[in-house]
């Protein structure tokens, strides 16, 4: 029996309420949302769970559940309970991105930098905004020498550290999901993130990006806010 690796699974699950939700009886919606809040509180005691609104910000989804656990089955069990609470009748899953923590080979070479890329444990800072997107590199990237890749990533990482108000959570999906990485950025200042991304666009590493969409901006909420937003 292998010892636990200490690595975590991450799941970014985006949901959309169906049109039938808005015509449902208020009394029924109140009961379902109360059950939903209790389920969120219950599972927050078992693993890291954050709730975000995308209402009015993104057309195809209304909210995000960001889940972090050492057990993949936790996501399965929680989702089953949510859908069987009555919510499943009115809800559609728009995206569900799966990834895992691992040490970054690029960050570990930069001993003078804050080592967020070496973390095997994700600790969400619960800042006001979260920007999430899947990431895929071109095949040509992996055919470059380690030295060339390291040089480009050192430039990338250095630029990121010019914006301390933005913290990054990088996780990996190789063989687990369609994308290669999942990245999420926490900040209280979206304008800083916009400036950071604009600066990175002109760097060499950008030429090796295959795909980095959809990019979804989310607003942090307390669990109780689900009853306020979707009443």
Residues 108 and 171 in one domain: yes
CA-based end-to-end distance of the chain:
48
**Residues 177 and 206 reside in one and the same domain:** yes
Task: List phi, psi (to 5°) of 209.
Answer: -85, 125
In a domain, 230, yes or no: no
212 in the same domain as 108: yes
Please tell me whether residues 112 and 203 are part of one structural domain.
yes
| Arithmetic mean of pLDDT, 162-168 | 95
Same domain, yes or no: 75 and 129: no
Q: Are 46 and 63 in a shared domain?
A: yes
pLDDT average, residue stretch 205-231: 97
Which CATH number do you get for residue 46?
A: 3.30.70.1030
Quote the domain boundaries for residue 175.
104-217
DSSP for the chain, written as a single string: -PPP----EEEEEEEEE-HHHHHS-HHHHHHHHHHHHHHHHHHHTTSEEEEEE-TTT-TT-SEEEEEEES-HHHHHHHHHHHHTTTGGGGEEEEEEEEEE----TTGGG-TTS--GGG-SS------SEEEEEEEEE-HHHHHS-HHHHHHHHHHHHHHHTT-TTEEEEEEE-TTTSSSSEEEEEEES-HHHHHHHHHHHHTSGGGGGEEE----EEEEEE-TTHHHHHT-
Structure tokens at 171: 């996780």
Cβ(212)–Cβ(133) below 8 Å: yes
pLDDT tens readout for residues 21-80: 999 999 999 999 999 999 999 999 999 999 999 999 999 999 999 999 999 999 999 999
Residue 31 inside a domain? The answer is: yes
Structure tokens at 56: 């009015």
Question: For residue 226, is it within any domain?
Answer: no
Same domain, 46 and 77: yes
Both 180 and 83 in a single domain?
no
Is 115 in the same domain as 76?
Answer: no
87-123 residue pLDDT tens: 999 999 999 999 999 987 777 544 444 445 456 888 8
35 in the same domain as 126:
no
Q: Of 67, 99, 131, which residue sits at a domain end?
A: 99
Say what percent of the chain tops pLDDT 70: 95
Residue 130 near residue 54 (C-beta atoms within 8 A):
no
Domain count, the chain: 2
């Amino acid at each position: 029996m292998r010892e636990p690796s200490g690595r975590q699974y991450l799941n970014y699950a985006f949901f959309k309420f169906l049109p039938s939700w808005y015509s449902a009886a208020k009394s029924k919606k109140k009961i379902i949302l109360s059950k939903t809040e209790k389920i969120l509180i219950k599972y927050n005691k078992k693993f890291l769970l954050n709730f975000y609104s995308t209402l009015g910000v993104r057309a195809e989804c209304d909210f995000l559940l960001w889940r972090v656990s050492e057990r993949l089955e936790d996501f399965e069990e929680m989702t089953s309970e949510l859908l069987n609470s009555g919510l499943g009748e009115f809800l559609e899953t728009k995206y569900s991105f799966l990834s895992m923590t691992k040490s970054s080979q690029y960050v570990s070479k930069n001993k003078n930098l804050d080592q967020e890329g070496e973390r095997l444990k994700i600790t969400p800072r619960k800042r006001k905004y979260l920007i999430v997107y899947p990431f895929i590199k071109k095949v040509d990237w992996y055919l470059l020498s380690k030295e060339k890749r390291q040089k480009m990533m050192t430039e990338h990482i250095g630029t990121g550290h010019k914006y301390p108000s933005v913290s990054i959570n990088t996780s990996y999906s190789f063989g687990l999901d369609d994308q290669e990485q999942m990245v999420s950025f926490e900040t209280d200042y979206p304008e800083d993130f916009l400036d950071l991304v604009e600066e990175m666009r002109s760097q060499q590493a950008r030429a090796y990006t295959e795909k980095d969409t959809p990019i979804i901006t989310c607003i942090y909420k307390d669990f109780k806010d689900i009853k306020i937003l979707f009443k």
